[in-house]
Amino acid sequence: MIELLRVPSFLTVQDSGRRGYRKLGVPLSGFMDDYSARIANYLVGNPGSAPLLEFLLTGPTLRFNSSTVFAVAGDTDVKLNGLSIEPWTSHWAMRGDILEVGTLKSGLYGYIAFAGGLKCKRLLGSCSTYPKAGLGMPLKAGDRLTLGYAILTGREGRSIPMELRPNYSQGSIEVRVVLGPNPEHFTKKGAETFLSSEYTITPESDRMGYRLDGPAIGHSPLGADIVTEPLLPGTVQVPANGKPIVMMRDAQTTGGYAKIATVVSADLHILAQGRPGTKVRFKAVEVEEAQEALRRCEKTLEAIKAFLEGKMRAYKVKVGEKEFTAFAGPSSSSP
């Protein structure tokens, strides 16, 4: 069990989300940054979908009431019993130990994973918190959480090399989108404005959607309103004011604003880590490129998982002026 001693910001239990319930009006929810969250789980030997703690900007202080292995994913300072320890690394905690997680230096969401995951009451098949519907509530100081059972041997000391850790320090980001499905609701100039302009994430953004400020996207005579249609995380709606809204993990399941594009799944976690004030640009790609990007993202995560389990080795490869990380395995084989 762990006990929360200090909770300075929005802290929730999240997993991979509620899949299969959108037809009933239930949002997906789950990890805002599924890439970082899955790595956090892999660091402690969990399946990528295991429930963990997701914090907004500043992490909590907690006490361990039993031994476990944990890992913090995020660009932040971490202390165990007052001594600095590395994030993106799995550590052993003993009964009575105190973990302090600081403020993120870059990015917006951080994660704390525990070997065996967190025990929780599954609602519609998921532990994910969605307060607007009463599906779980944000955590507060004094709350206690039960850890799942896990054999801890071999889970401590796993670490992600610096070059494999996500970099969310950019002041501006570019995300790929597939255009549509309502192109007839936008002028040609409006579509060009969307793809050529720089937008800013506003403070009104949250887990439901990121509101962007910037040049207005022009609508055609059909206007901004449409007959209500399904929405997914990544959908880019454009209301009458011409300012785009990108739907995120807690997005409603339907909407009545024209949709100009959808952020590709492989880039949605990058956008999720953008703070208010971060600049965003959009790049149009075809469906095939979006699918290939997702395949590559999944293969990278699979390779990281295998690397952490000791089944693969990581090598630095230089091509021209660029340096890449390549994986090869099994680790027991000769070079």
DSSP string, 269-308: HHHHTPPTT-EEEEEE--HHHHHHHHHHHHHHHHHHHHHH
For residue 171, pLDDT beyond 60: yes
Q: Could you tell me if 53 and 89 lie in one domain?
A: yes
Listed in sequence order, the DSSP H helices in the chain are 34-43, 188-196, 265-272, 287-308
For residue 332, pLDDT beyond 60: no
Q: Could you tell me if 281 and 292 lie in one domain?
A: no
- Model pLDDT, residue 104: 97
Q: Residue 157's domain spans which residues?
A: 2-164
Would you say residue 271 lies in a domain? yes
Q: What is the pLDDT of residues 247-302, one digit of tens each?
A: 999 999 999 999 999 999 999 999 999 999 999 999 999 999 999 999 999 999 99
Would you say residue 333 lies in a domain? no
**Chain centroid to CA 141: how far?**
24
Q: Which two tokens stand for residue 144?
A: 């206690």
Would you say residue 120 lies in a domain? yes
Per the model's pLDDT, the better-predicted residue between 161 and 83 turns out to be: 83
**Which whole number is the average pLDDT over 153-161?**
90
Q: Could you tell me if 88 and 190 lie in one domain?
A: no
Q: Residue 41: which of 134, 126, 150 has the closest Cα?
A: 150
3-state secondary structure of 149: coil
Would you say residue 243 lies in a domain? yes
Q: Are strands 2-6 and 61-64 parallel, antiparallel or unpaired?
A: antiparallel
Q: Could you tell me if 183 and 273 lie in one domain?
A: yes
Q: Could you tell me if 158 and 192 lie in one domain?
A: no
Angle, vertex CA 306, rays to CA 300 and CA 309, nearest 5 = 145
**Which whole number is the average pLDDT over 236-249?**
98
Give the confidence band of 330 by pLDDT, cuts at 50, 70, 90. low
First to last CA, the chain: 43
Q: Could you tell me if 143 and 177 lie in one domain?
A: no
For 142, other C-beta atoms within 10 Å of its C-beta total: 9
Q: Could you tell me if 108 and 10 lie in one domain?
A: yes
Q: Could you tell me if 301 and 319 lie in one domain?
A: yes
3-state secondary structure of 50: coil
Amino acid residing at 14: Q
Angle, vertex CA 214, rays to CA 221 and CA 198, nearest 5 = 110
- Model pLDDT, residue 17: 96
- Average predicted confidence (pLDDT) for the chain: 93
Would you say residue 335 lies in a domain? no
pTM of the model: 0.92
Tally the domains of the chain: 3
Q: Are strands 78-80 and 118-119 parallel, antiparallel or unpaired?
A: unpaired
Look up the CATH number of the domain holding residue 246: 2.40.100.10
Q: Could you tell me if 159 and 230 lie in one domain?
A: no
Q: What is the pLDDT of residues 188-233, one digit of tens each?
A: 999 999 999 999 999 999 999 999 999 999 999 999 999 999 999 9
Amino acid residing at 20: G
pLDDT > 70 fraction of the chain, expressed in percent and rounded: 94
Q: Could you tell me if 304 and 188 lie in one domain?
A: no
Would you say 53 and 13 are in contact if contact means Cβ atoms under 8 Å apart? yes
Would you say 283 and 236 are in contact if contact means Cβ atoms under 8 Å apart? no
Amino acid residing at 279: K
Q: Which two tokens stand for residue 229?
A: 């249609």
